[in-house]
Amino acid sequence: MEELTISQVARRAGIRPSAIRYYESSGVLPTPRRTSGRRRYDTSVLQRLTVIQLAQEAGFTIAEIKRLFYDFEANLPASARWQALAKHKLAEVDALIARAQRMKRLLEECLLRCQCLSLDECALLSAVHSSA
């Protein structure tokens, strides 16, 4: 079985060795065996890193990624794990999109309507304050 150093893993995965150490310390990657004090990885770590990178691209936090690997029944298929986490994450993304749309509308309103000489006289601020 081929063993890789942390530098080799980092190069193949396209990430920094510090990211690998971080994933280990956060529990997302299992602790590798050591030879003469140096980390030695099985090539399967590359697949695990690919899953981690994909999950991060989808917006999952390290804690959520850790759940993907460890917080489900061992016999539960990966697809069911992804679906359970994705359903929750989609709700978060929808809320984030709604907030971003409200922010955009407010900024556009400021660009269109604001002609105030001072913030004390701002009609937009008055409208927000009176609706609160």
pLDDT digits (tens, 9 = 90+) for 101-118: 999 998 888 888 777 777
The CATH code of domain 1-71 reads 1.10.1660.10
In DSSP terms, 42 is beta-bridged to: 3
pLDDT digits (tens, 9 = 90+) for 22-31: 999 999 999 9
Greatest Cα pair distance in the chain: 73
pTM: 0.76
pLDDT digits (tens, 9 = 90+) for 60-100: 999 999 999 888 888 889 899 999 999 999 999 999 999 99
Domain locations in the chain as residue ranges: 1-71, 75-132
